[in-house]
Amino acid sequence: MARLYWLTGAPLRPTDKDILLLEQLVARHAPRRDCGPLGALMLGVTPAVAAMSWPERSRLLAVDGSFAMVKGVWPGDLPGARAAVCGGWFSLPFVNHSFEVITGDGSANCVSFPEGLRELAEETHRVLRPSGCLFLRCYTQPDLKEEPEHVLAGLWDGGYPSFHDFKFRFLMSMQETACHGVAVADVHRRWMKSGIDAERLASATGWDRAVIGALDAYRDSPTVHVFPTLAEFRSVLGEYFEEISCSHATYPLAERCPMLVLKRL
């Protein structure tokens, strides 16, 4: 997955509009510090978030459980400004109330539902200062779930701006419930069963063949993603946080990628 990160596009990677929205929200809601740097924690090593315009004197620490992701995706440490470490999100290596800001881009979709999300909420609640804010861009299943056959059929009618849009919808369509999530190995098996010829698809659409071929990385992968509905996300996060706002950028499928701003209860 670390090797394929750069073959992944929006909405699974944040767009410039997502980053601009996050910058505005952090500037609006992050608590002011009279002295010392603003402590910020990122769940994962999303390079666009690391490199965005943070408030003056911010100190960003990123935590990711994969050394390969840190090595291959993180844009590099900057002394006094940002650094990345390997660690688990359920046992963050920080004392209580360490950060004014915590952010995650799709991070809440990388843990099980509801147990994993509850553990993540509890641990971020622990390390967030009482006046701090949690900023999460989440991938949400629509209330009316699509079926895989419908999503696959749309490949030939020009309904997708990019293969990334198709893959995003295809992943969600393969999930039966958020509690079970979707194993990407099952997604690959369904893709192969469809009999779609990748070369023909690339020729017909003009899409990069390497981007289409990146789906092969799902073969036999143990990775499982979860796509709760917005209501399901709120049902768990609301146990630990008060929702301040819910907004999203403007691009295809952005309505499935809301940015939540949450304050510690």
Structural domains of the chain, ranges and CATH numbers in brackets: 5-140+228-264 (3.40.50.150), 148-225 (no CATH)
Q: How confident is the model at residue 157 (pLDDT cuts 50, 70, 90)?
A: confident
- For the segment 157-174, the average pLDDT, to the nearest whole number, is 95
Q: How confident is the model at residue 40 (pLDDT cuts 50, 70, 90)?
A: very high
Question: What is the residue whose two structure tokens read 């509009």?
Answer: 17
pLDDT tens readout for residues 91-110: 999 999 999 999 999 999 99
Q: Please tell me the predicted confidence (pLDDT) of residue 237.
A: 98
Q: Is 42 helix (H, G, I), strand (E, B) or coil?
A: strand
CB atoms within 10 A of CB 99: 23
Q: Please tell me the predicted confidence (pLDDT) of residue 159.
A: 85
Instruction: Identify whether the C-beta of residue 184 lies closer than 8 Å to the C-beta of residue 225.
Output: yes
**Closest CA relative to residue 133, chosen from 46, 248, 51, 27:** 27
- For the segment 241-249, the average pLDDT, to the nearest whole number, is 98
Residues with Cβ within 8 Å of 202's Cβ and at least 6 positions away in sequence, in order, are 208, 209, 212
Q: What is the mean pLDDT of the chain?
A: 96
Instruction: Identify whether the C-beta of residue 124 lies closer than 8 Å to the C-beta of residue 136.
Output: no
Residue 131 has pLDDT above 90, yes or no: yes
Instruction: Identify whether the C-beta of residue 237 lies closer than 8 Å to the C-beta of residue 261.
Output: no
Residue 155 has pLDDT above 90, yes or no: yes
**Per-residue exposure over 164-202, b if at least 16 CB sit within 10 Å of its own CB, e if not:** bbbbbbbbbbbbeebeebbbbeebbebbeeeeeebeebb
Instruction: Identify whether the C-beta of residue 112 lies closer than 8 Å to the C-beta of residue 227.
Output: no
Instruction: Identify whether the C-beta of residue 133 lies closer than 8 Å to the C-beta of residue 18.
Output: no
Alpha helices in the chain (DSSP H): 16-29, 47-50, 67-73, 115-127, 148-153, 163-173, 184-194, 198-205, 209-213, 230-237
- Find the farthest-apart pair of alpha carbons in the chain and give their distance in angstroms, rounded: 61
Q: Which structure tokens are listed for 6?
A: 């750069």
- For the segment 71-77, the average pLDDT, to the nearest whole number, is 96
